[in-house]
């Protein structure tokens, strides 16, 4: 086996999992957009988001989560208003403490690229590309990736084969030459291994039961720290 590319999940993998109150984070939006009905609107947004994630999970990624703008429109938000843009920025900024890259990320990515191994990100997300790229730039790792794919730009999501195939095509790598690192057995490991990639599981995320199933999945490797990816790949390439 020779690994020529390593693809990473983002939330819970490149950035450690945080248990957060999602309704309170939505309050960062609603307190600006509609302060008189902030709690009610935040709960509607939270429910709408959860419903989208559940549908995406139930369809094994064939139906993606879509984008935030669709979610806002479903609950009656005027997404053309300047107030919406201000509220959206406040909401996304509220996530900042929960999005910092793992302490091993820079060293690991530099090591992989120094070995001539391509790197990429494949993330299930409703967030816009510009925000993800800003986070990766803030953490000093944006330049360390050869390709980024966010499912806010695709019709499907992990574990659907199409999104893994997209990444492999753009890296010009065959499935057997690539490893995927993720925290979710179904979305990440099952999805990657179903197309012929090697799955590396980092099992530290408190994934909601409604978004979790193992299907008897066994990862090709299990690690406890992100830095261990380099050791796994080195062993496979020996």
Listing DSSP states for 83-116 in one string gives HHHHHHHHHHHHTGGG-PPPTTHHHHHHHHHHTT
Domain boundary among 60, 76, 97: 97
Q: What is the pLDDT of residue 214?
A: 66
Question: How confident is the model at residue 1, as a pLDDT?
Answer: 76
Number of domains in the chain: 2
CATH classification at residue 152: 3.40.50.1000
Residue 39 and residue 145 share a domain: no
* Same domain for 80 and 185: no
Q: What is the mean pLDDT of residues 142-149?
A: 98
Closest CA to 156 of 66, 65, 67, 64: 64
Q: Provide the pLDDT for residue 204.
A: 83
Ranges assigned E (strand) in 99-213: 118-123, 147-150, 178-182, 198-201
Are 161 and 52 in the same domain?
no
Same domain, 91 and 112: no
DSSP secondary structure letter of residue 197: P
Looking at the structure, tell me whether residues 75 and 87 fall in a common domain.
yes
Average pLDDT over residues 123-143: 97
Q: Which domain range does residue 46 map to? A: 22-97
**Is pLDDT of 146 > 80?**
yes
Strand partners of residue 179: 6, 198
pLDDT computed for residue 76 by the predictor = 96
Same domain, 163 and 223: yes
On whether both 129 and 28 belong to a single domain, the answer is no
The whole-number pLDDT of residue 28 equals 98
Q: Both 87 and 132 in a single domain?
A: no
Do 188 and 199 lie in one domain? The reply is yes
Same domain, 199 and 213: yes
pLDDT at 209 over 70: no
Considering the domain architecture, whether residues 85 and 201 belong to the same structural domain is answered as no
Model confidence at 97, in pLDDT bands (50, 70, 90)? very high
The 10s digit of each residue's pLDDT in 63-95 is: 998 999 999 999 999 999 999 999 999 999 999
Residue 202: the pLDDT is 95
Instruction: Among 65, 97, 129, give the residue marking a domain's end.
Output: 97
Do 185 and 115 share a structural domain?
A: yes
pLDDT band at 211 (very low <50, low <70, confident <90, very high): low
Please tell me the predicted confidence (pLDDT) of residue 57: 87
pLDDT at residue 13 above 80? yes
Tokens 């957060």 belong to residue: 20
Percent of the chain with pLDDT over 70: 97
pTM of the model: 0.95
- DSSP helix/strand/coil, 124: coil
**Mean pLDDT of all residues belonging to the chain:** 95
Residue that is last in its domain, among 97, 116, 140: 97
Q: Please say if the pLDDT value at position 210 is more than 70.
A: no
Cβ atoms 199, 220 nearer than 8 A: yes
Q: What is the separation of C-alpha 212 from the centre of its chain, rounded to a whole number of angstroms? A: 15
């Amino acid at each position: 086996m020779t690994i020529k590319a390593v693809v990473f999940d983002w939330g819970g993998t490149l950035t450690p999992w945080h248990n957060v109150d999602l309704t309170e984070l939505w309050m960062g939006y609603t307190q600006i957009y509609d302060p008189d009905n902030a709690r009610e609107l935040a709960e509607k947004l939270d429910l709408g988001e959860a419903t989208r994630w559940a549908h995406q999970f139930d369809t094994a990624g064939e139906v993606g989560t879509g984008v935030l703008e669709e979610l806002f429109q479903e609950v009656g938000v005027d997404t053309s208003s300047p107030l919406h843009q201000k509220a959206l920025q406040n909401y996304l900024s509220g996530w900042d403490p929960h999005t910092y890259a793992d302490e091993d990320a820079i060293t690991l990515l530099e090591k992989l690229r120094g070995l001539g191994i391509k790197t990429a990100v494949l993330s299930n997300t409703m967030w816009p590309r510009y925000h993800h790229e800003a986070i990766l730039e803030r953490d000093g790792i944006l330049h360390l990736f050869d390709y980024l794919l966010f499912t806010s730009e695709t019709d499907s999501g992990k574990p659907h084969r199409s999104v893994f195939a997209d990444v492999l095509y753009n890296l010009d790598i065959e499935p057997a030459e690539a490893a995927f690192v993720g925290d979710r057995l179904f979305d990440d490991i099952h999805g990657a291994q179903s197309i012929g990639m090697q799955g590396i599981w980092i099992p530290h995320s408190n994934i909601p039961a409604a978004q979790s199933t193992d299907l008897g999945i066994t990862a090709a490797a299990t690690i406890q720290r992100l830095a261990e990816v380099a050791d796994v790949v080195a062993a496979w390439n020996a």
